[in-house]
Structure 1
Amino acid sequence: MPYYESPVDGTRLHYVDHGPATGPVAVFVASAYLGQEMWEYQMLPLAEAGYRCVALDRRGHGRSDDVWAGYDLDTLAADVHGLLDHLDLREVTLVGHSVGTAEAVRCVTRHGTGRVARLALVSGVSPGLVRSPGLPDGVDPALIDADDQAFRRDRAAYFEASADDFFAVHLPGNEVSPAYARYLIGRCLSASPRAAHGIRALIADLDLTEELPGLSLPVLVVHGTHDASAPLARTGERVARLVPDATLKVYEYGGHGMFVTHADLLTADLRDFLGGGPARNTAPAGSATVPRRG
């Protein structure tokens, strides 16, 4: 089972490395509470198609060490870059989901583009969700505090109550079996309580509005029209406006869990992006390509 050590504090971090050793490389950064297993519907078909697919378990998640410290964005981004160094990966496409998009962005803004050629930001919480000077229309911090209290009281009940909205199962085409929902809740609960609360605190303080305009590489932004966790107007659309070389793809009826509900569509768009060119000009059924605005 492959591991490497964090360049920050030596925390032992688990990763997987699938597909051929040559060819385009995608490195996947997971959502809060989840590990590399969340990407099975992207990594397996891409690896079978000849792409090298690498993914890590964030500290405190999955098979990585359960540690108390290091849930700040700089440390998590350094953990990601440490994996690129460990495997000597170059011309990488970093693919992040939810809070993983923030780790991917900070990895580039802090460590440069020597190893990273492209970013794909899927259902991202970037640039941030909570009201702050840089995000004046963000969510009221008092609402976040109340949500944190519910999470702290009963994480299992919290995840179960959130599952339908996460996948937007009330919308056409978003079919997720009860068995899979239970499986994913179990994976969320495998993150340590300390890691879960640390990631929630990171999201509450997140504001990348000043970093995004400095990205000097192609960025694919993929977001759903019905993302209850990270509303499109506050996140995906804003990122696409701030990043100089961004393409926004909007998936009709997409919730936050599009890596499952829109798995084939997402995998196809990632495959196009991994080829080194721009995302497809002709949007497949169920999506729309929106050019960067102003």
Structure 2
Amino acid sequence: MPYFESPVDGTRLYYADHGPADGPVAVFVASSYLGHEMWEYQTLPLAEAGYRCVAVDRRGHGRSDDVWSGYDLDTLADDLNGLLDHLDLRGATLIGHSVGTAEVVRSLTRHGSARVDRVALVAGVSPGVVRSPNLPEGIDPAAVRADDELFRRDRPAWFNATADDFFAVQRPGNDVSPAYVHHLIDRCLVATPRASDGIRAVVAALDLTEELPALDVPVLVVHGSHDVFAPLALTGERAALLVPDAVLKVYENGGHGLFATHAGLLTADLREFLESGRASDTAARQAAVAGR
């Protein structure tokens, strides 16, 4: 199985690497609690179309090591950059979902974009969702603490109680089978209690208001109109305004789990975004040849 060691503390981290080794590279960073499997509706068709799709399990998630420490945004971002270094990836497109968007942004602001050409922020919690000086309209921290207590008391019950809202099943077209929901909850429960608490703390403290304007690559922001976990006005719309070179695509009726409910649309938009990067590279090479 493919593993690499965290450059921070040597934690063994798992990644999936599918598609042709010489194809354009897309690196996927999953949501809280989930591992690389959540991206199956994107990585499989994109790999079949000739893209190299790399998806990482963050520490304490999926098949990566169960460790006590390192659940802070800097360490998680360093882990992600360590994967890029380990595989010596160039011209990569980083694609994050939910808290994965924060890891992507922090990785770029800490390590630069030498290995990264483009970024996609999917149903992101960036720049932040909890009330803070930069986000006075955010969620009440007291409500977050109360939800944390429910989560710690009974994680399986919490996932079951929030599944319908996660997929926005009350909205038209958002059909997910009970079997799939059960599967995804099982995958969420693979994340250790320590890792789960740590990631929740990252989201509660998140404020990337000052970092998003520093991104120096094209950014695609994809968000659902009915995302109750990362409300559009707090996150996707704000992120698109803060990033200098950003395009916002809003999926009507989409919830947080749009990677499943809007799988085909998301995959098509990601492929178009990847293709635009390939076209830019080709044009640059042609211009360089013509200038010789």
Range into which the TM-score falls when normalised by the shorter chain: over 0.9
Distance apart, 1:278 and its partner CA: 10
- Is the contact between residue 224 and residue 232 of structure 2 (CA under 8 Å) also seen in structure 1? yes
1:282 equivalent in structure 2: none
Q: CA deviation at 1:229?
A: 0.4
Indicate the residue corresponding to 1:182 in structure 2: 182
Instruction: Write out aligned runs for 1:98-137 (5 A).
Output: 98-137=98-137
Spell out, residue by residue over 1:73-92, the C-alpha distance to the aligned partner (whole angstroms, 9 max, x if none): 00000000100000000000
Deviations along 1:22-50, one digit per CA (max 9) or x if unpaired, are 12100000000000000000000000000
Tell me which residue corresponds to 1:85.
85
- Cα distance per residue 1:199-254 (max 9 Å; x no partner): 00010000000001111110000000000100000000000000000000000000
Normalized per residue, the structure richer in helix is 2
- The answer to whether the 8 A contact 2:118-2:277 is kept is no
SS in 1 for 2:33: coil
Q: Which residue of 2 aligns with 1:284?
A: none
Whole-Å separation in 2 of the counterparts to 1:278 and 1:114: 16
The answer on whether the counterparts of 2:77 and 2:103 sit within 8 Å (CA) in structure 1 is yes
Q: 1:59·1:195 contact (CA, 8 Å) conserved in 2? A: yes
Alignment correspondent of 1:162: 162
For normalisation by structure 2, the TM-score amounts to: 0.94
- In 2, the alpha carbon distance for the partners of 1:23 and 1:186 equals 32
2:59 aligned with 1:75, yes or no? no
Distance, in Å, in 2 between the alignment partners of 1:35 and 1:126 is 19
Partner of 2:142: 142
How many residue pairs get matched? 279
Partner SS state of residue 119, structure 1: strand
Matched, 1:192 2:192: yes
Provide structure 1 residue ranges, at least 5 long, that are not aligned to the other structure.
280-294
Name the structure 1 match of 2:266: 266
- Equivalent position of 1:50 in the other structure: 50
Deviation of 1:276 (Å): 3.3
Question: In the aligned structure 2, how far is the partner of 1:114 from the partner of 1:275?
Answer: 19
Q: 1:278 to 1:92 in 2, by over 3 A?
A: closer
Q: Is the partner of 2:93 in helix, strand or coil? A: strand
* In 1: Cα distance, 2:93 partner to 2:138 partner: 29
Counterpart in the other structure of 2:232:
232
Residue 223 (1) aligns with residue 189 (2): no
State the Cα distance separating 1:171 from its structure 2 match. 0.9
Task: Give, in angstroms, the shift of residue 277 of structure 1.
Answer: 4.1
Give the number of the structure whose alpha-carbon radius of gyration is greater: 2
Say yes or no: does 1:40 pair with 2:40.
yes
Q: 1:272, 1:278 within 8 Å by CA — same for their partners in 2?
A: no
- Aligned twin of 2:151: 151
Using a 3 Å threshold, how does the CA distance of structure 1 residues 120 and 256 change in structure 2: closer, same or farther? same
| Gap regions ≥5 residues in structure 2 | 280-292
> Are the aligned partners of 1:167 and 1:174 in contact in 2 as well (CA < 8 Å)?
yes
The question of whether the paired residues in 2 share the 8 Å contact of 1:160 and 1:185 is answered with yes
Q: Any idea what SS the aligned residue of 1:170 has?
A: coil
Quick check: 31-40 or 135-144, which moved more? 135-144
Deviations 1:135-164 (A, max 9, x none): 111111000000000001000000000000
Q: Give the whole-Å Cα distance in 1 for the aligned partners of 2:132 and 2:227.
A: 21
Amino acid at match of 1:76: L
Identity %: 76
One-letter identity of the residue aligned with 1:13: L
Q: SS in structure 1 opposite 2:189?
A: helix
The amino acid that maps onto 2:177 is S
Aligned to 2:25: 25
Whole-angstrom distance in 2 between the partners of 1:47 and 1:79:
23
Are the counterparts in 2 of residues 223 and 254 from structure 1 also a CA contact under 8 Å?
Answer: yes
Aligned position for 2:287: none
